[in-house]
Amino acid sequence: RFAPSPTGYLHIGGARTALFAWLWARKEQGQFILRIEDTDRERSTQASVDAILDGMKWLGLDHDEGPYYQTDRFDRYKIVVRQLLEEDKAYYCECSQERLQILRDELMAKGEKAKYDGHCQHKNLTAGVVRFRNPVEGNVVFSDLVKGEISVHNKELDDLIIARSDGTPTYNLTVVVDDHDMEIDCVIRGDDHINNTPRQINLYEALGWGLPAFAHLPMILGGDGARLSKRHGAVSVMAYRDAGFLPEALLNYLVRLGWSHGDQEVFTLDEMIEHFSLDGIGQSASAFNTEKLIWLNQHYIKTLPASEVAAHAKWHFETLNVDLTAGPALESVIAIQADRVKTLKELAEISTYFYQDYEAFDANAAKKHLRPVARGPLERVKDKLMALEEWNPESIQSAINATAEELEVGMGKVGMPLRVAATGGGNSPSLDVTLNLLSKEKVGERIDKALTFIANRENS
C-alpha cells in the first residue's frame, strides 16, 4: 500500500515510496492499495488530496483499490480501541500538556529519553486520551527487508496515545488496523517511520493479529548531504511536471535512488517490474542529482515515440496560450526539436513560432542577420520558394541552394536571414524541415515582414 497524509503535495520521497510499493505489487502479482491517512483533520485538506491523486495519475502509478479514507473508518477504530480498553491493554489518561512538558524537560535534563511515565496506568479513569499499555519486559525484534534485523527493548517505548480525548484515533492505531483489515502483507515506507514500527508490532500482538513484513527505505538527501527540502529546488512531483519533465524520466530516476540492478541506468516500466527486488535496495541514503534527472529527461524526449511525448508536451503549449490547431501536428514539431531541448517546457518555448506569429525579431539575431545586405538574398529566395509546386524539405533546400549559387555567396548569407525571417530568431532546426512545417503562405508573409524591417532600418 501507499498511504500518504494529505497535509501537502506529493513530494519526491513519497513518490519513490509509492513507486517501490507499486513495483513490488506488480512484480508479485499482488494488489496495490491507495489509502489517504487523513485523521489529522486540522492539517488535512482537499487540495492536498487532489495534489496526491494528480501526482499519482501523472506518474501512472495506478491503484487496484482505493483511495480509502481513514475518516470514513472511525467506527472501526472505535471498536478496536474499546476492545483494548476492555482487555486492559489500554487505559484512559488525564495528564495535562503542562505536566507532560515538565516530565519531558526533567527527563531530558537527566540525559534520559523523554517518554510517558505511566502516571495514569492504575487510576481506572473513564475519560481522557486513551493510551496503549505497552509491555515493559523483553525486546521487539523484527527482520526488516532493507535494514536487516532490528531489536528494540520495550523499556525504550512508552504508552503511546491511540485515541485523543475527543475519541478520534491517532496514526499508530489506524495504520495497524488498516494494514490488518486490508490484508497488507508487505509495508514499504520511509525509514522516518522505523521508530514507530516496534510500537505498532506490540499493537498487532496485543490484538492477536499476524504481522506484515516491513521494508523501510533510506531517506533522500540533497546534493549537500542534508535532507531533501525546498531549498534544494523542486520537491513536489507536480513541480517537475510543470518544469517540463516526463513521468518516464522521473520514474526512471526515482527507481535508481537507492535501488540498483547491475550497472543498468535506463529502465522501461516493464523492465523495472521485471528486475525490481527489495534486496536490491541499499541501506544508505541517496543524494538527489538534478543533472542526472535532466540527462534522463533528454533521453526520453529523444527516444519515446513522438506521440507519447506530445501527450505530455501539449500541456506546456497550452500554458503559453498556444493554439495547436493553428500549425503542424505537434508530433512533427517534436520530431525535429527533440535533439535540441532538455525539457518539455523548453520545447514549447522555442516552438511557438510554428503556431503563432512572433511579436518581434530577436534583437541580436536581427542586428546581425537582417542588415541591408540581406535584402537581395531574401527577395531572391522568396521568389524561388513561392514558385515551388511541391512544398517539401527537398524542394525547399534546392531553392535555398540555388539562391546561394546564383548570388555566388555562402549558404549562411541566404540561410541565416531566412531563418530569422521565418522563426523570429537565430536558432532553429535545419531550414528545410523548419520551413516545411510552416506553410508556404506563412513563410512568404514572414519574409515580407523581414524585408519591411530591413527597409525601415535603411531609412532610419
Amino acid at 207: L
281, β-bridge pairs = 259
First to last CA, the chain: 70
Amino acid at 90: A
How far apart are alpha carbons 34 and 173 in whole angstroms? 18
Q: Are 417 and 369 in contact (CB under 8 A)?
A: yes
DSSP code per residue over 148-178:
EEEEEEGGG----EEE-TTS-B-HHHHHHHH
Sequence-distant (6+) residues with CB within 8 A of 94 are 120, 123, 125, 127, 128
89 is catalytic: no
Instruction: Say which of 57, 113, 230, 367 is annotated catalytic.
Output: 230
- Burial code of 111-134, b = ≥16 C-beta within 10 A, e = fewer? eeeebbeeebeeeeeeebbbbbbb
Sequence-distant (6+) residues with CB within 8 A of 249 are 293, 296, 297, 299, 300
- Tallying the residues shown for the chain, one arrives at 460
Q: Is the peptide bond before 4 cis (omega within 30 degrees of 0)?
A: no
Q: How far is CA 352 from the centre of its chain?
A: 26
DSSP code per residue over 241-307:
HHTT--HHHHHHHHHTSSB-STT-----HHHHHHH--GGGB-SS-EE--HHHHHHHHHHHHHHS-HH
Return the sign of the alpha-carbon dihedral for residues 313, 314, 320, 324: positive
How far apart are alpha carbons 344 and 316 in whole angstroms? 7
Q: Are 266 and 252 in contact (CB under 8 A)?
A: yes
CA neighbours closer than 13 Å in the CB half-sphere of residue 188: 24
> SS3 for 31?
coil
DSSP code per residue over 313-348:
HHHHHHHTT--GGGSS-HHHHHHHHGGG-SSHHHHH
Q: Which residues are catalytic?
A: 230
